[in-house]
Amino acid sequence: MTTEVLGGVSGLKVNVDENNNFPVFEAIPGYPTAGGFYTVAGKSGTAAIAAALATDVTLMSARFAVASSRKAYIHKLRVSISTLTPGAAGGVPSVLGMQRYTTTTTPTGGTARTPNQIGPSKGSTSDMFDIRDNNAALTMTGVTFGTEISWCDTTTNGVLVSKYEWIFEPKAPVELSAGDGICLRTRQAGPATATWFFTYTMHWSER
């Protein structure tokens, strides 16, 4: 039996098991010369998100550099949401959404975050040059909000103090071009009494 390998290293040999199955093992990903694999972690500011926070408030933003010659690919977003002050029984919860945007200016306000380069000796620093978050509202001047990517309700719709995790992990990554941004934004006004808090970790690559 002959096994042909397309691409890769010239003269590379591969093996199969006794049932002619080709085993696949997770390995260190190939790093581009410019780009690589990254994460960033943050939280909704230093205080609680206020009760009855309005719809369309941007709480987290990440913008890809206008001058970048590569693309960014969002592979995963994990958001941990906690209720600090419970709401009313049977209430309608706040809704948090992940949304694209384009802009001519960089968002301002809140706390700036620094990307982590997963392989610090491989690839290059990230072109996701501006990442920030806030518990109230970021200033999004000159922004055109684009398609909705994913929504999640929060733990603000009852009398219990609770916590859960929202994991967005699409089958194909979300692609950002130079100058594009992605944000977490309220999609429904919060209950009159409930306050809450979130942390997040975003995973992406650039090529």
- With contact defined as beta carbons under 8 Å apart, do 85 and 48 qualify? yes
pLDDT at position 25 is: 62
How far apart (Å, rounded) are the C-alpha atoms in residues 61 and 156?
22
Written as six digits, the tokens of 118 are 């997963």
- At 180-200, the pLDDT tens digits run 999 999 999 888 889 999 999
- With contact defined as beta carbons under 8 Å apart, do 155 and 48 qualify? no
Q: Pick out the chain residues at pLDDT < 50.
A: none
pLDDT at position 27 is: 65
pLDDT at position 17 is: 73
Written as six digits, the tokens of 183 are 């944000």
pLDDT at position 201 is: 98
Q: What is the dihedral of CA 107, 109, 111, 112, to 10 degrees?
A: 30
Residue 81 one-letter amino acid: I
pLDDT at position 8 is: 58
pLDDT at position 191 is: 87
pLDDT at position 2 is: 54
pTM, full prediction? 0.85
- Count CB atoms within 10 A of the CB of residue 1: 4
